[in-house]
């Protein structure tokens, strides 16, 4: 694509949402099939309405790579656009409308901290012989590359137990990052005792663990979590059950272990959506995941007499994903109309190769 001077975002910053939406539609019409617009389930409604494809992060990246579009505009967060770049064809360009759309959980495990943990573990055991590094897909590309380089693998919220089994088939221990809750729940589902799953705090020497704890552990859980799912509490479920004894509770495995134990169903965003949509008419659901998804789901099923309510009493939404707004999307698309790519996400080649190794191991295993 020929490059011209980019359109400044300043011209869009004060644009009313409705006007930005109209400009998005106009730009989409001009771009046609040169662009595919991906929206994660947690995306705000006024952006989600423009999506070509919706879903969770891995599903979106895989489908985008199969499209004929030369530009992949990812309305999600940074690591999602990285995965799209890694899995897409060389001629495709991955774009994030606002580079500030990150993930606080992903930021809790940096490459420097994980490499230091690996070095510290080597004082107790040989990690390259004893430990399989497993990173949740909600992580930076350089951590996926670390896993690719050390015999490790990537997991999602739906395949984590299967990926853990793959890991244990190769080495006796797992270092699981960045989300402790997904790792703990997945280990619990596999029958691993709680005292064989320990927390590694990267800010403490040897993760705050003794040599005996490391020797006994089967899963070493990184001290990380999702700020949204961390908000849900067992008390929210107790109140719901007291008021609606026949109601059902469904939660994302990024929720705390106590919330997961008290839920009727646990699963990924895709699982939550499909389970509630397939439920009998007239059922009532308490849902423990991000607010935008819950509100959208409630609207989609209310005609069947189903009631869907948000688990927390306070508003919990993915604040970083909210940074992808109609103004940034309109700015991104109008620049594409003018032949300019803004906010391209390009993973360095050496990282992309190793990260793809870890991702392909996951796809083969699951």
CA distance 271 to 22: 33
H-assigned helices in the chain? 10-13, 17-31, 45-48, 57-65, 78-87, 104-107, 111-121, 127-130, 141-149, 160-168, 180-189, 211-216, 234-243, 257-261, 269-278, 291-301, 326-337, 349-365
Residue 115 and residue 203 in one domain? yes
Domain assignment present for residue 165? The answer is yes
Condensed to tens digits (0 to 9), the pLDDT of residues 151-193 reads 999 999 999 999 999 999 999 999 999 999 999 999 999 999 9
pLDDT at 67: 84
Domain assignment present for residue 363? The answer is no
* Cα 176 versus chain centre, distance: 15
CB atoms under 10 Å from CB of 228, counted, come to 24
Give Rg (Cα) of the chain. 21
Total structural domains in the chain? 3
pLDDT at 316: 59
**End-to-end CA separation in angstroms for the chain:** 37
Residue 248 and residue 267 in one domain? yes
Residue 292: name the closest of 31, 96, 45 by CA.
45
Domain assignment present for residue 204? The answer is yes
Q: Which helix (H) or strand (E) holds 177?
A: strand 173-177
pLDDT at 242: 97
Residue 91 and residue 154 in one domain? no
CA distance 174 to 195: 14
What is the pTM assigned to this prediction? 0.92
Residue 286 and residue 301 in one domain? yes
What's the CATH number where 156 sits?
Answer: 3.40.50.10800
Crossing angle (nearest 10°) for helices 180-189 and 160-168: 70
For 108-166, give the DSSP string: TS-HHHHHHHHHHHTTTS-HHHHEEEEEESSS-HHHHHHHHHTT-EEE-TTTHHHHHHH
Residue 329 and residue 267 in one domain? no
Out of 191, 211, 226, pick the residue that ends a domain: 226
CB atoms under 10 Å from CB of 366, counted, come to 16
Out of 284, 310, 336, pick the residue that ends a domain: 310
Residue 265 and residue 200 in one domain? no
pLDDT at 319: 60
Beta pairing, strands 53-55 & 131-136: unpaired
pLDDT at 289: 94
Out of 197, 226, 255, pick the residue that ends a domain: 226
Domain assignment present for residue 354? The answer is no
Domain assignment present for residue 364? The answer is no
- Where the chain has pLDDT below 70, the residues are 1-5, 315-321
Domain assignment present for residue 250? The answer is yes
Residue 110 and residue 162 in one domain? yes
Residue 339: name the closest of 71, 62, 58, 115 by CA.
71
Task: Give residue 260's domain range.
Answer: 229-310
Sheet strands side by side (includes 71-75)? 53-55, 35-40, 71-75, 93-95
Residue 81: name the closest of 324, 346, 354, 348 by CA.
346
Domain assignment present for residue 240? The answer is yes
Question: Prior bond to 244 cis, omega within 30?
Answer: no
pLDDT at 42: 86
Domain assignment present for residue 5? The answer is no
Residue 214 and residue 116 in one domain? yes
Residue 87 and residue 137 in one domain? no
Residue 115 and residue 92 in one domain? no
């Amino acid at each position: 694509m020929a490059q011209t001077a980019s359109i400044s975002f300043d011209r869009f910053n004060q644009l009313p949402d409705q006007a930005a939406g109209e400009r998005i539609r106009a730009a989409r019409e001009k771009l046609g099939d040169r662009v595919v617009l991906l929206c994660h389930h947690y995306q705000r409604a006024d952006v989600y309405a423009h999506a070509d494809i919706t879903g969770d992060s891995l599903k979106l990246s895989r489908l985008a790579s199969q499209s004929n579009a030369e530009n992949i505009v990812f309305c999600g967060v940074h690591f999602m656009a990285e995965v799209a770049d890694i899995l897409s064809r060389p001629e495709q360009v991955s774009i994030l409308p606002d580079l500030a759309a990150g993930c606080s959980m992903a930021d809790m495990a940096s490459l420097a901290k994980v490499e230091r943990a690996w070095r510290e573990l080597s004082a107790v055991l040989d990690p390259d012989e004893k430990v399989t590094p497993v990173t949740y897909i909600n992580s930076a590309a350089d951590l996926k590359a670390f896993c690719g380089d050390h015999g490790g693998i990537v997991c999602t919220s739906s395949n984590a137990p299967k990926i853990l089994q793959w890991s244990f088939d190769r080495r006796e221990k797992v270092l699981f990052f960045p989300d402790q809750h997904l790792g703990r729940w997945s280990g619990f589902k596999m029958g691993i005792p709680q005292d064989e799953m320990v927390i590694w705090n990267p800010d403490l020497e040897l993760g705050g663990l003794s040599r005996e704890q490391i020797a006994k552990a089967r899963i070493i859980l990184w001290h990380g979590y999702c700020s949204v799912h961390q908000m849900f509490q067992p008390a929210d479920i107790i109140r719901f059950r007291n008021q609606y004894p026949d109601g059902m509770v469904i939660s994302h495995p990024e929720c705390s272990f106590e919330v997961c134990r008290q839920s009727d169903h646990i699963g990924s965003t895709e699982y939550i959506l499909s389970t509630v949509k397939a439920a009998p008419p007239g059922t009532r659901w308490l849902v423990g995941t991000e607010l935008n998804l819950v509100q959208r789901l409630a609207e989609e099923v209310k005609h069947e007499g189903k009631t869907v309510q948000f688990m927390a009493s306070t508003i919990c939404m993915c604040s970083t994903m909210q940074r992808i707004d109609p103004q940034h999307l309109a700015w991104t698309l109008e620049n594409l109309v003018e032949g300019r790519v803004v906010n391209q996400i390009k993973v360095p080649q050496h990282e992309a190769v190793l990260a793809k190794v870890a991702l392909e191991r996951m796809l083969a295993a699951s």
